[in-house]
Amino acid sequence: MIMKKQFLILCIFFAVGMTLFQSCKKEEPAAPPKAAIFYSIVGKQAAFTALTKRVVTWNWDFGDGKTSTEKDPVHVYTDGGYYKVTLTGADATGQTAVADADLAVALTPYVLLTGGPTAANGKTWKLSSAHSSKDAFANADNTFSVVAALATGILGDVGIGLGWVYDDQYTFKFDGSYTHSPQHGGAFAGLVNTMIKGKTILKATETSQQYGLCYTAYTPEAGATFTYVEKEDFAVGSVYGPGGVLTYPGVSTLDFSGTEFVGFMDNQRKVIVQEVTDNTMRLVMFMTASPKYYPLNTHALIITFEVVK
């Protein structure tokens, strides 16, 4: 009987000790929630999958002002463009995990040119001093036959001496507005057009004059706009065309309000867009190199632009 009582007392002491031990242990914090985003895009429609752990609510921001609380939503964007998608997942205690994804949706040439509807400041371009293998001083004929290729930095001190032209900037916005920012008070321009219209030449060198080029004083137009046409038959005055007119079928073009232009100022301000990507675009800009043929175009400058970071 005594042994049983001793055993019972030992069991009681053991139980109490275990209880005290357990109460002294620190509670392990719950593991935080985790979140990641998987998505697929077809046209303007994006399908999202929330890759989450320990999450009980999901809040999506699609970057265009629209939201969702579904776990795996499908969203259709009104316009192509660049969108930052954010997923916020929360666990039962209110702890959150956040994941982001940068989407490129239906990148049309117009979106590539302007940066799309989410680019509040538009997209700014300048002439690329690196040029490309397709940049050239060409004839204004139907094939733009090359007169001279444009090597790296050729418009600057290593070539014709008009390095200022690489600094001027041109901003296109999704709403069609346009801002031209001369960095030296002028513009890359045709010498013949400048002289005929009595404009002030800010800079010209012996070499630049041989090609009919100069840097001309110019004040940008306030409230300027641009028009982009993805495909049209573009008729332009040219010494190579029958009756002085040459038509380029099915080309993309940029045109401008008032006196505005892009890259190069001459009598012809509407230009051909040969190519536009996320970081570069190549334009064909016409010019008259001889007063004998003015206002018909004799040559074209094929020049690459790059995005201003």
User: pTM value?
Assistant: 0.88
Above 70 in pLDDT, residue 116?
Answer: yes
Using alpha carbons only, give the angle 273, 185, 238 rounded to the nearest 5 degrees. Answer: 35
Above 60 in pLDDT, residue 120?
Answer: yes
26-30, 63-67, 201-205, 274-278: which has the minimum mean pLDDT? Answer: 26-30
Distance CA 102, CA 104 (A): 7
CA atoms within 13 A on the CB side of 132: 17
Above 60 in pLDDT, residue 64?
Answer: yes
Tell me if 122 sits within 8 A of 114, measured CB to CB: yes
Q: For the chain, give every residue range classified as CATH 2.60.40.10.
A: 34-106
Model pLDDT for residues 136-190, shown as the tens digit of each residue: 999 999 999 999 999 999 999 989 999 999 999 999 999 999 999 999 999 999 9
Tell me if 87 sits within 8 A of 37, measured CB to CB: yes
- CATH class of domain segment(s) 34-106: mainly beta
Distance CA 305, CA 81 (A): 20
| The pLDDT of residue 30 | 77
| The pLDDT of residue 55 | 98
